[in-house]
Amino acid sequence: MSNCRVLVPEVSAQLRCSERAVLRLIASGDLVASKVAGKWLVDIDSIAAYLDKTSNRPRRRRQRDMAR
């Protein structure tokens, strides 16, 4: 885990979602964060990992589809 952390409003801008949605991602464990002085600080590596996990990259074709 890196030491670089950002606040929830910055994460919501980067993910293009609401701050409430970011808080739900934190609660579900999809984003790693810690609460400091009443504010959530989200680890930037977890943001990158979440984006990689949820990206719309093409899926691998099944063997059956490749035989056609």
pLDDT above 90 (res 62):
no
Question: What pLDDT is stored for residue 55 in this prediction?
Answer: 82
Q: Return all residues near 32 (Cβ < 8 A) that are at least 6 apart.
A: 1, 42, 43, 45, 46
* CA dihedral of residues 13, 31, 27, 7 (deg, nearest 10): -40
> Under a CB-based contact definition with an 8 Å cutoff, are residues 47 and 11 in contact?
yes
Domain boundaries, the chain: 5-55
Question: What pLDDT is stored for residue 58 in this prediction?
Answer: 66
pLDDT above 60 (res 66):
no
- Say what the pTM is: 0.77
**Which tokens is 67 given?**
């035989």
Helix pair 8-15, 19-28: axis angle to 10 deg: 100
Over the stretch 6-52, which tens digit does the pLDDT of each residue have?
A: 999 999 999 999 999 999 999 999 999 999 999 999 999 999 999 99
